[in-house]
Amino acid sequence: MPRTVTIGLNVNGIRHELNVEPRWLLVDVIREVLGLTGTHIGCEHGVCGTCTVLLNGETARSCLTLAVSVDGAEIFTVEGLNRGGELHPLQEAFREAQGLQCGFCTPGMLMLAHELLRENPKPSEQEIRESIAANLCRCTGYQGIVEAVSLAAERAATATTGTRS
């Protein structure tokens, strides 16, 4: 039997010590070992971005990442976005602008949008399109997603202005 390696991962703020085979993909560890099935598998060759998670704060294809290669990393998945019964403002914006339909690409899109708004709180439509073009959506035609990210950015700006005044 293949040997396993012990790694540490902090996933959505919870620390795990895991024995993994060297060839296991991060997405399989997230889904199969940790049971966090919100991160989906779309193509397993790094094109569709459905498996996107935040790895030490940066978006990463978890289907192209070996779990052993990220020992000690902080992973953030869709399950980390909302706590309890409240949706995260980004999720709320996706709901209002209908930035989803079947929901399969949605967790990955939320990760992209989360990173974009952190790096660029007031993105233009073109900047949003360039960011989300990293991932594929087969349902929406992207329009609702672009509007959702825009809406989330506007609201965050209003909220910030509100606190300052």
Partner 1 sequence: MATTERQWIGKDIPRLEDPKLLAGRATYTDDVKLPGMLHAAVLRSPHPHARIKRIDTSQARALPGVFAVVTGEDAKELTNPLPAFCAEPVVQYALAVDKVRFVGEAVAAVAAVDRYTAEDAAALIEVEYEPLPVLTDPFEAMKPEAPKLHDPLPSNLAFEKTLSFGDVAGDFATADHVIRRKLRWHRASAQPLETAGALCRFDPLSQKMDVWSNTNMINFVGWLIAGTLKVPASKLNLYPMYVGGSFGSKHVLGKVIGIAAMLAKRSGRPVKFMEDRVDNLLASENLACDRYYDAELAVTKDGIFKSIRVRVVDDYGAYFQFGHGTHGNALAQVTGPYGMGSFEYTVQCVLTNKCQQGVFRGAGSDAANFCLERLVDAAAQTLGIDPIEIRRRNFIRPDRFPFKTPCGNIYDSGNYPAVLDKALDMAGYAELRRMQAEARRQGRYVGIGLATAQQRSVYGPTEFWFWYDAPGLTSVPESVGLSLGPTGEFIVTMFSPFWGNSPETVVAQTVAEEFGINPSQVTVTYEDSQHGLPGAGPGGSRMTVMLTGAVVGASRKLKDKLARIAAHQFEAAPEDITFADGRATVRGVPDKSLSYGDLGLKAYWFKLDLPQGMESGLEARHTYDHPYLTKPSADRKDLGAFYPMMGHGAHIPVVEVEPATGQVRFLRYIAVHDVGTIVNPKSLRGQITGGITQGVGMALYEQSAYDAQGQPLTGSFMDYLLPTALEVPAFEVGHVETPSPFTEYGVKGGGEGGRMIAPAAIASAVEDALAPLGIRVDEVPLTPERIVSLVEAARAS
- Determine if 100 is a binding residue for partner 1 (CB under 8 A): yes
How many residues lie near partner 1 (CB under 8 A)? 59
Could you tell me which of 111, 105, 104 has the C-alpha nearest to residue 88? 111
Nearer to partner 1, 87 or 160 (CB): 87
Helices and strands per DSSP (H, E), number in the chain: 5, 5
Nearer to partner 1, 62 or 106 (CB): 106
The DSSP H or E segment spanning 113 is: helix 106-119
**Least distance from C-beta 59 to partner 1, angstroms?**
15
- Determine if 139 is a binding residue for partner 1 (CB under 8 A): yes
Largest CA distance in the chain: 63
Cβ–Cβ under 8 Å, residues 100 and 135: no
Considering only 66-74, 87-95, 116-124, 155-163, which stretch makes contact with partner 1 by CB under 8 A? 87-95
- Determine if 59 is a binding residue for partner 1 (CB under 8 A): no
List binders of partner 1 among 21-40 (CB under 8 A): 21, 23-24, 28, 31-32, 35-40
- Determine if 67 is a binding residue for partner 1 (CB under 8 A): no
Q: Which residues contact 27 (CB under 8 A, 6 or more apart)?
A: 39, 41, 51, 53, 62, 63, 65
Nearer to partner 1, 82 or 163 (CB): 82
